[in-house]
């Protein structure tokens, strides 16, 4: 990522880096979604796009002489904060809540972070705010509401996703970029990256941006013309816990409006279906939240918002192993085979419908 240091806030020599960025952009014709490309951010060091944020934020934490890192996270941002704090040699406190996925919790703990659980989600921000105000802890995540975004140097680092996409297409940007959105940090960063390239004359337009969300907050604001995305309480918790916030941000809404973009609200059934489709057809297992852009493209194509010839890039933000629970239940039980070829073929047929 730091080969783009001239566009960032520190030099490559100063960077706290684990080799994040430069992720593959893979053509995915088998998905039946037209000209779709996957920007596979699950290949980053902690297996999510948050490593760009972690590297951007920890680099500045070090420059500023921060002594303790603090983050509130359902998992991915916390894992990145923990790993980059470890690399920087700084202690890290991460606040998480009871519903966070088990593997993500283990991941955060393994990097040696001081993980704290809270029963009431609001407490993580209250406690983090106290740590920031009283002790000068350096925040990498949001820590008060309504959210105004994560660490600004971390958000800046997301610009590099746009640079990499533009470069991969020989400076001919795609028509659409579709992202799973929680606070819209990456949405904003990607938009800013394209805008900078346009200002430099390296590209001639910024792609239209679409937000795939589970709360429906941005979709409601787009429809209702609100200045601020409303809180949008849902009936059931989503399996995409990483993007579970109930309220979008002003800057995310602004990006959608400026690019004539779209917001699509994705239900659990579509998330599960797209996780399994991506894994079985493209060999990539995304976290449930990262399946959201594919469900969004499907919807936007069906309603004619994305036109047949238009090229889309979907940001696949994190790897499936981070939260396998909700997907495991949708998979066929592997048969126990005893005997020879006859029994094996019978088992393959009954479990998987395989006829040889």
Ligand X SMILES: Cc1ncc(COP(=O)(O)O)c(C=O)c1O
Task: Pick the closer one to ligand X by CB: 148 or 346.
Answer: 148
Among 15, 197, 318, 327, binds ligand X (CB under 6 A): 318
Q: Are 237 and 250 in contact (CB under 8 A)?
A: no
Shortest approach of ligand X to residue 211 CB, angstroms? Answer: 8
Among 290, 295, 305, 326, binds ligand X (CB under 6 A): 290
- Spell 89-102 as b/e; 16+ CB within 10 A means b: ebebbbbbbeebbe
Closest CA to 225 of 196, 188, 256, 189: 256
Closest CA to 10 of 49, 58, 44, 50: 58
Q: Are 7 and 163 in contact (CB under 8 A)?
A: yes
Shortest approach of ligand X to residue 342 CB, angstroms? Answer: 45
- C-alpha 71/C-alpha 115 separation (Å) is 10
Shortest approach of ligand X to residue 134 CB, angstroms? Answer: 26
Among 20, 164, 185, 282, binds ligand X (CB under 6 A): 185
Q: What is the total count of residues that contact ligand X (CB under 6 A)?
A: 17
Mask for 49-78, x = binds ligand X (CB under 6 A): ---------------------------x--
Task: Pick the closer one to ligand X by CB: 23 or 290.
Answer: 290
When asked if residue 180 is in the footprint of ligand X (CB under 6 A), the reply is yes
DSSP assignment letter at 47: S
When asked if residue 181 is in the footprint of ligand X (CB under 6 A), the reply is yes
Among 287, 296, 298, 314, binds ligand X (CB under 6 A): 287
Task: Pick the closer one to ligand X by CB: 6 or 258.
Answer: 258
When asked if residue 186 is in the footprint of ligand X (CB under 6 A), the reply is yes
- C-alpha 173/C-alpha 28 separation (Å) is 17
| Counts for the chain of helices (H) and strands (E), in that order | 13, 10
When asked if residue 163 is in the footprint of ligand X (CB under 6 A), the reply is no
Shortest approach of ligand X to residue 168 CB, angstroms? Answer: 21
Shortest approach of ligand X to residue 132 CB, angstroms? Answer: 19
Stretch near ligand X under the rule CB under 6 A, chosen from 168-176, 225-233, 263-271, 285-293: 285-293
Q: Are 137 and 68 in contact (CB under 8 A)?
A: yes
Place of tokens 């239209």: 208
Mask for 222-261, x = binds ligand X (CB under 6 A): --------------------xx------------------
DSSP assignment letter at 231: P
Among 15, 58, 86, 182, binds ligand X (CB under 6 A): 182
CB-CB neighbours of 3 under 10 Å = 12
Shortest approach of ligand X to residue 313 CB, angstroms? Answer: 15
Shortest approach of ligand X to residue 213 CB, angstroms? Answer: 8
Q: Are 152 and 138 in contact (CB under 8 A)?
A: no
Closest CA to 291 of 311, 268, 312, 263: 268
- C-alpha 247/C-alpha 334 separation (Å) is 40
Determine the 3-state secondary structure of 162 from DSSP: helix
Task: Pick the closer one to ligand X by CB: 279 or 351.
Answer: 279
Q: Are 288 and 326 in contact (CB under 8 A)?
A: yes
Shortest approach of ligand X to residue 341 CB, angstroms? Answer: 43
Positions touching ligand X (CB under 6 A) are: 48, 76, 180-187, 242-243, 287, 289-290, 317-318
């Amino acid at each position: 990522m730091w080969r783009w240091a001239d566009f960032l806030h520190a030099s490559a020599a100063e960077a706290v880096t684990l080799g994040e960025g430069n992720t593959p952009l893979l053509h995915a014709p088998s998905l039946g979604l037209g000209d779709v490309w996957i920007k596979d951010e699950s290949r980053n060091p902690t297996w999510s796009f948050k490593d760009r944020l972690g590297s951007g934020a920890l680099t500045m934490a070090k420059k500023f002489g921060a002594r303790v890192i603090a983050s509130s996270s359902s998992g991915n941002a916390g894992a990145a904060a923990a790993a980059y704090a470890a690399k920087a040699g700084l202690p890290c406190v991460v606040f998480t809540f009871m519903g966070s996925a088990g593997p993500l919790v283990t991941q955060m703990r393994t990097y040696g972070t001081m993980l704290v659980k809270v029963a009431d989600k609001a407490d993580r921000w209250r406690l983090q705010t106290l740590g920031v105000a009283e002790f000068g802890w350096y925040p990498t995540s949001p820590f008060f509401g309504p959210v105004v975004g994560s660490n600004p140097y971390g958000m800046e680092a997301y610009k590099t996703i746009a640079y990499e996409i533009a470069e991969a297409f020989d400076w001919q940007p795609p028509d659409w970029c579709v992202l799973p959105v929680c606070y819209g940090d990456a949405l904003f960063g990607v938009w800013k990256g394209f805008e900078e390239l346009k200002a430099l004359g390296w590209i001639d337009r910024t792609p239209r941006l679409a937000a795939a969300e589970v709360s429906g907050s941005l979709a409601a604001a787009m429809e209702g013309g609100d200045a601020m995305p409303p809180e949008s309480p849902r009936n059931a918790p989503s399996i995409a816990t990483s993007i579970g916030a109930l309220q979008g941000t002003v800057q995310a809404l602004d990006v959608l409006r400026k690019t004539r973009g779209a917001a699509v609200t994705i239900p659990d059934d579509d998330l599960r279906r797209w996780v399994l489709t991506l894994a079985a057809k493209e060999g990539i297992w995304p976290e449930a939240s990262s399946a959201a852009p594919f469900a969004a493209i499907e919807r936007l194509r069906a309603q004619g918002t994305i036109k047949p010839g238009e090229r889309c890039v979907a940001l696949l933000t994190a790897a499936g192993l981070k939260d396998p629970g909700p997907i495991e239940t949708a998979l066929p039980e592997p048969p126990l085979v005893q005997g020879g070829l006859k029994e094996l073929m019978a088992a393959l047929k009954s479990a998987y419908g395989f006829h040889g």
